Amino acid sequence: MKLVYLSWFVFICISAIATAQNKVLTPEIMHAIPKIGSPALSPDGKWVAYTRSDYDQEKNESSSKIMLRRVQSGDSKPWVEKGSSPQWYDKTTLYYLLKEDDHTNIYAIDTAGQVRQVTAGEHTIKMFGLSPDRSKLWVVMDVQFPRLIEDFNQDIPHTKGAKLYDGLMARHWTSWYDFNHQHVFIADLGDNPITSFKDIMEGELFDSPLKPFGSAGQIDIHPDNTYIAYTSKKLSGTEAAASTNSDIYLYNTNDGSTINVSQLNPGYDTYPTFTPDGEWLLWSSMATAGYEADKNRLILYNLESRRIFDLTRDFENGVSSIYCHPDPDKKLIYAIVGNRATYNIYTIDWSDKDNVDIQPLTNDRANYQSLSLASTDGDTYIVASRMSMGAPTELFTVDAFSGKDNRLTYDTDEVLADITMGKVEERNIETTDGLSMLTWVIYPPDFDPGKTYPTLLYCQGGPQSAVSQFFSYRWNFQLMAAQGYIVVAPNRRGLPTFGQAWNEDISGDWGGQAMTDLLTAIDEVSKESYVNERRLAAVGASFGGYSVFWLAGHHQGRFKAFISHCGVFNLESMYGSTEEIFFVNHDFGGPYWSDPKPKSYEAFSPHLYVQNWDTPILIIQNQLDYRVPLTQGLEAFTAAQLNQVPSRLLYFEDEGHWVNKAQNSILWNRVFFDWLDTYLKY
């Protein structure tokens, strides 16, 4: 009997310990967090509709519903059990997309719950928008053009898997070019469901919005319906692969003519927005041809005089997510601006175009992602989505004058109620060339400065993408910290939000100062007594994966383990197999056959230093990654194995550059932490 009692006592103690340990973030808990997005504020500012996506781990699928919340009282309820892309028609009626079988149409629901169909037929509507006066509707749908190979295989149908191309951009990010193009269509709204639309890009083998990540924000309609402004890169094949030259086009709804209003700019022009008075058009613009990470300028264009102004010419950082103040008399723009690894809301007063006043409205250690504005009775209402390293996305109200924010939604609380997050600390570390580098340090939830901890150097990708206050479902710092690791996440050279000079300092110098910055960060933090210098690892994806491969040949014994996800290994084979050639042209200095040969290929390619590899490395690579193709990881794994370096390859046949499927992500994390635990913890 004593043995039985003892067994129960041990069982209870183990259960208690397990319960305590479960109060930190795990991969399974992370994917149980509802994802909040697409806030849409009603015209009177009283209601906000937003999407909530929940993941069913057993079925390995997610479902999206539209929630309705009263802004003042905070009362919330599910409004549309299945739907996406909410947009208000008026203060009581919402439009949304609903997919049924193989078709997607637009539906309307009012606050009383009455539903009606807005479009009908065998459409697959991908996104939509409403004219300011609610008389017209624009939609984006795919248009199928004949495939080139169909000239050759009509009588041999079993070759249906074959593909034929006359130029580059045959594949892009995760898919092969299939001669489908997304076009903008327009129709009049009336009492009956819309069954047909006018294609304003008829016959064009180009896309709007830009594939694959362009959103509805790349299209806008004039207040009096005279024009539709849309974003398109009207280039194809090899020419498209080598250029970033997208433009803003104005389609005249009266005569069907189209003009290019940004044709003088050779770089990206995107996200057109008409001012409420209809006199001006705004858009985001990058000035440098072929440079995808150039400063995002804010361009102002007069529709009558065709004069162009750069509203951000004297502003250090780029702007995104442009929202005009709803009052036509106010020359005021709300935008999201990155500054020192955070993304906050700024106001841009352009009443004096020669002396534009750009000021922060919020100054939070957080990332604001999207805004929704409404104005009534002289008051302006703002609802914004916001996240931080310690908190997933929720909605907040933001005072339009003081910037004071208040949390509006609490959808993630149920999952995270008992979860303890680790402390996030901001450090400024001096680099070897005497500059200041902002570095985040994330500590385990139960951090004790009297103990020592294994520590991870996080190498950011991009290469030009800030280590900001993101709560990622792919590289989650809190998840790493919850497993008992300190995470060091430096904003090394070549990252935005620190001015354009810092951002540009990596182009043509991948293995230079940026790598020195990474080592400086981990060396500095390793001076702390609670960092176990004998248990350090470097991890990263994309350019971060390149960084890991580079450090593996140059770390001089600092690290005990490496993990590289979809990393660039061989610059020459990368140049010949990636799809957006403008990127490698800009960052590598051109093709490897140039004379003289660019320095990058002879000095900065990790494959040249594999003879120095001596540290265990986990390599992750995905079949559908056409940005950093599968062979990059396979080459690295082969090199590690033949050099007798302890190594492991994790491969996903159904993922691209990222691991997006939830069960794949859980598996990814299990392998990730198993590798770290093997070489760092025990």
Q: What is the pLDDT of residues 608-644, one digit of tens each?
A: 999 999 999 999 999 999 999 999 999 999 999 999 9
Measured CA to CA, the distance from residue 595 to residue 584 in angstroms comes to 16
Measured CA to CA, the distance from residue 420 to residue 478 in angstroms comes to 9
pLDDT digits (tens, 9 = 90+) for 130-153: 999 999 999 999 999 999 998 899
- The continuous run of DSSP H or E covering 3 comes out as helix 2-21
- Mean pLDDT, residues 431-439: 98
Domain definitions of the chain by residue range: 36-125, 420-681
β-pairing, 391-399 vs 379-388, is: antiparallel
- Whether the CA torsion 442, 448, 450, 452 is positive or negative: it is negative
pLDDT digits (tens, 9 = 90+) for 16-42: 333 444 589 999 999 999 999 999 999
The answer to whether residues 119 and 160 touch, using CB atoms and an 8 Å cutoff, is: no
Question: Has residue 12 got a pLDDT over 70?
Answer: no
What are the structure tokens assigned to 242, written together? 């080598």
> What is the per-residue pLDDT for 17?
39
Cite the beta strand spans of 548-668 per DSSP E.
561-565, 617-622, 647-652
Provide φ and ψ at 120, rounded to 5°.
-140, 150
Question: Has residue 467 got a pLDDT over 90?
Answer: yes
Indicate the DSSP class of residue 608.
G
Measured CA to CA, the distance from residue 421 to residue 435 in angstroms comes to 31
List of residues 6+ apart from 248 with CB closer than 8 A: 229, 230, 231, 260, 261, 262, 269, 270, 272, 281, 283
Q: What are the DSSP calls for 140-175, one per residue? A: EEEEE---GGGGT-TT-GGGTT----SSS-SEETTE
The answer to whether residues 244 and 254 touch, using CB atoms and an 8 Å cutoff, is: no
Identify the bridge partners of residue 472 per DSSP, sorted by sequence position: none
Please report where in the chains the tokens 């193709």 appear, as a residue. 629
The answer to whether residues 657 and 565 touch, using CB atoms and an 8 Å cutoff, is: no
pLDDT digits (tens, 9 = 90+) for 314-367: 999 999 999 999 998 999 999 999 999 999 999 999 999 999 999 999 999 999
Measured CA to CA, the distance from residue 403 to residue 381 in angstroms comes to 11
3-state secondary structure of 217: helix
Measured CA to CA, the distance from residue 564 to residue 543 in angstroms comes to 9
Question: Has residue 9 got a pLDDT over 70?
Answer: no
Measured CA to CA, the distance from residue 542 to residue 569 in angstroms comes to 10
> What is the per-residue pLDDT for 19?
40
Measured CA to CA, the distance from residue 227 to residue 253 in angstroms comes to 6
The number of CA neighbours under 13 Å toward the Cβ of 377 is: 3
Q: Which residue has the higher pLDDT, 57 or 441?
A: 441
- Whether the CA torsion 507, 508, 512, 515 is positive or negative: it is positive
Q: What are the DSSP calls for 82-114, one per residue? A: S-EEEEEEETTEEEEEEEETTEEEEEEEETT--
- The continuous run of DSSP H or E covering 641 comes out as helix 630-642
Mean pLDDT, the chain, as a whole number?
94
The answer to whether residues 368 and 345 touch, using CB atoms and an 8 Å cutoff, is: yes
pLDDT digits (tens, 9 = 90+) for 384-430: 999 999 999 999 999 999 999 999 999 999 999 999 999 999 999 99
Cite the beta strand spans of 450-566 per DSSP E.
453-459, 486-490, 531-541, 561-565
What value, to the nearest 5°, has the Cα angle with vertex 391 and ends 390 and 396? Answer: 135
Exposed / middle / buried, residue 410 (Cβ in 10 Å: 0-12, 13-18, 19+): middle
Please report where in the chains the tokens 């293995």 appear, as a residue. 511
- Mean pLDDT, residues 498-521: 96
- The continuous run of DSSP H or E covering 669 comes out as helix 662-676
CA-based radius of gyration for the chain: 26
Question: Has residue 11 got a pLDDT over 50?
Answer: no
- Percentage of the chain exceeding pLDDT 90: 91
- The continuous run of DSSP H or E covering 180 comes out as strand 180-188
- The continuous run of DSSP H or E covering 587 comes out as helix 581-588
Measured CA to CA, the distance from residue 126 to residue 132 in angstroms comes to 20
Best CA proximity match to 365, nearest among 253, 547, 497, 503: 497
Our answer to whether residue 564 is catalytic in this structure is no
Catalytic annotation, pick one of 207, 269, 405, 625: 625
> What is the per-residue pLDDT for 681?
83
> What is the per-residue pLDDT for 368?
98
Measured CA to CA, the distance from residue 26 to residue 419 in angstroms comes to 10
Catalytic annotation, pick one of 542, 600, 605, 665: 542
Catalytic annotation, pick one of 325, 555, 565, 657: 657
Question: Has residue 271 got a pLDDT over 60?
Answer: yes
β-pairing, 617-622 vs 531-541, is: unpaired
Q: Count of residues for the chain?
A: 682
- Mean pLDDT, residues 562-586: 98
> What is the per-residue pLDDT for 13?
39
Our answer to whether residue 555 is catalytic in this structure is no
- Whether the CA torsion 479, 480, 485, 487 is positive or negative: it is negative
Our answer to whether residue 172 is catalytic in this structure is no
Measured CA to CA, the distance from residue 79 to residue 1 in angstroms comes to 58
List of residues 6+ apart from 134 with CB closer than 8 A: 89, 90, 189
Q: Which residue has the higher pLDDT, 77 or 442?
A: 442
> What is the per-residue pLDDT for 627?
97
Question: Has residue 167 got a pLDDT over 60?
Answer: yes
Angle between helix 543-552 and 513-525 (nearest 10): 80
Confidence of residue 678 (pLDDT cuts 50, 70, 90): very high
List of residues 6+ apart from 55 with CB closer than 8 A: 31, 32, 61, 62, 662
Q: What are the DSSP calls for 45-86, one per residue? A: SSEEEEEEEEEETTTTEEEEEEEEEETTT--EEEEESS-EEE
**What CATH number labels 420-681?**
3.40.50.1820
Cite the beta strand spans of 216-341 per DSSP E.
219-221, 227-232, 247-252, 258-260, 269-274, 280-285, 297-302, 308-310, 319-324, 332-339
Question: Has residue 100 got a pLDDT over 50?
Answer: yes
> What is the per-residue pLDDT for 377?
80
What are the structure tokens assigned to 200, written together? 């304003």
For the chain, the distance separating the N- and C-terminal CA atoms, rounded to the nearest angstrom, is 37
